[in-house]
Amino acid sequence: MAQKKYLQAKLTQFLREDRIQLWKPPYTDENKKVGLALKDLAKQYSDRLECCENEVEKVIEEIRCKAIERGTGNDNYRTTGIATIEVFLPPRLKKDRKNLLETRLHITGRELRSKAVRGGFRKWHATHMRRRPCGSAPAMGFSRETTEE
């Protein structure tokens, strides 16, 4: 697991340095399928990393799919005004740590908490999204203005 995260971090770094946009041709075709140039890129990076080409190709494909997913979410936000927020829960509360919550971004902290409860995060909501006493850390990284009303 740690080796895969390291490989993913190094490949992301290489992609940024080389200014490669995996969601665009020649790495992705018009149907959002993998392009032929991805194999060449995997070969190039596996040589740089002295790593298995198949493993590098798998990780690059995961990065490409995630980039396409984010791009689709951005397009959806531009047209509908509804964003998808990734909510990470502690492993002891859910099987899936990452949960998706669709919402408009111009809402108050109270409205966000309400959406979280309706979205099935009730147990997590009760322990992590409550108001905090003055002087303590804001809940979920929100500024005090969004959590206090």
The pLDDT profile of the chain, 149 residues, written as one tens digit per residue, is 688 999 999 999 999 999 999 999 999 988 889 988 999 999 999 999 999 999 999 999 999 999 998 888 888 899 999 998 887 766 766 566 677 888 888 889 888 878 777 766 655 444 444 444 444 344 444 444 443 43
Note whether residue 124 is domain-resident. no
Long-range contacts of 63-67 (CB under 8 A, 24+ apart): 63/8, 63/11, 63/12, 63/15, 63/22, 64/22, 64/23, 64/27, 64/28, 64/34, 64/38, 67/21, 67/22, 67/23
67 and 102 together in one domain:
no
* DSSP structure class, residue 23: T
75 and 86 together in one domain:
no
Count of domains in the chain?
2
23 and 40 together in one domain:
yes
4 and 48 together in one domain:
yes
Please give the sequence-ordered ranges of beta strands (E in DSSP) within the chain, or none if there are none: 82-88, 98-104
Please give the structure tokens belonging to residue 147: 């959590």
Which structural domain range is residue 112 located in? 81-119
